Amino acid sequence: MTVYLDKNENAFDIPENVKYEFMEYIKKTNLNRYPEKGLPSLLEKIGDFSGFNDENIIVGNGSDELLNILINQAKGDILINTPTFEMYNFYANNYGYNTVNVPLKSDFSLDTENIINKNNIKLIIICSPNNPTGNLIDMGQVEQILELGIPTILDNAYYEFSGEDYTDLLNKYDNLIILRTFSKAFSMAGLRIGYGIANKNVISNIKKLQAPFYMNVLSAKLAEIMIDNYSTVQEHVKYIINERERFYNAVKEIAYDSKANFLFLKKDLYSYMEKHDIIIRKLPLLKDRSRITVGKKEENDIAIDAIKEYISKNL
């Protein structure tokens, strides 16, 4: 049996009781009708859940859709910090924009001095916890960047696994938008739902760039049901965090500590793990590194045994 630990998906599927409630909704829903414009019910639900007014919330088909819109509107140079999520560069290239790369320091912190000295930057993107390194970006460093007044995206996709909440910064900085997702902690990668939190004027301007009916009624409803079942989400997140710590402690000779649902490995183990029927993430831009998702205990045990064997033979 092949073990798939490559896409940072949640190890747990949607709970059966949630699927049952969702199926009952489908039976009663007229799928020939468009969703209500603006998805007010979902916005209100996310707003209540996150502690913000619905005018501070925007949803999209995955946080990738919101990234795409925001990068398109940058109309100029976009600053990123590698190694980081590869889609930032992908979208920038699609629109012909230049990405200005200020690499992370050796401890994966921001090189704030170098960032501050860059000119003509139209958009800054910070990923925290960062993908693929798994570390949190220091709150103070984020504030230093926000003080520049440049529109800044904080990609917070792995927020629930991190123990760090940056939303207090929204009360102070109108140039910040925080992006989150239902793909990771909420086990909904297959339904593509993301959301952003920002100043109401920022959100209003982004909404003008979305199509009237940008999300299907089924994805929107399941997101609402999952919020209502957040205690289950929390249970799964706690399990994954515990497994992440166990996994890291077992292979820390070859892994970095993480605040996400994956570990960043100090070696490229893709081919080695594939021979053991374990699929992990190969990182084309990092020839000597790889990334492995934290799965369920039985999956992690298989991966730990394989990595320990590698360590014993090669380190």
pLDDT of residue 212: 83
pLDDT reading at 42 higher than 90: yes
Say which residue, 214 or 164, is predicted with more confidence: 164
pLDDT reading at 254 higher than 90: yes
Local confidence band at 284 (pLDDT 50, 70, 90 cut-offs): confident
82-101 confidence digits (pLDDT tens): 999 999 999 999 999 999 99
pLDDT reading at 149 higher than 90: yes
| End-to-end CA separation in angstroms for the chain | 28
Q: If we measure between CA atoms, which residue out of 197, 151, 258, 256 comes closest to residue 56?
A: 197
pLDDT of residue 225: 97
pLDDT of residue 285: 87
> To the nearest whole number, what is the mean pLDDT of the chain?
96
Beta-sheet strand order (sheet of 152-155): 57-60, 194-198, 176-181, 152-155, 121-127, 77-80, 99-101
242-252 confidence digits (pLDDT tens): 999 999 999 99
Highest mean pLDDT (candidates 32-41, 132-141, 209-218):
132-141
pLDDT of residue 70: 96
Local confidence band at 211 (pLDDT 50, 70, 90 cut-offs): confident
How many Å apart are CA 8 and CA 31, to the nearest integer?
31
Of 112-126, 207-221, 276-290, minimum mean pLDDT range: 207-221
113-144 confidence digits (pLDDT tens): 999 999 999 999 999 999 999 999 999 999 99
Two tokens, residue 173: 């900085």
Two tokens, residue 190: 């297959």
HEC string for 170-196:
HHCCCCEEEEEECCCCCCCHHHCCEEE
Which domains are seen in the chain, by residue range? 3-12+231-314 (3.90.1150.10), 16-229 (3.40.640.10)
49-85 confidence digits (pLDDT tens): 999 999 999 999 999 999 999 999 999 999 999 999 9
Question: Where do runs of H (alpha helix) occur along the chain?
Answer: 16-28, 40-50, 62-72, 87-94, 112-116, 139-146, 200-207, 217-228, 230-251, 270-275, 297-314
Residues 296 and 261: beta-carbon distance below 8 Å: no
How large is the average pLDDT for residues 260-271? 98
pLDDT reading at 200 higher than 90: yes
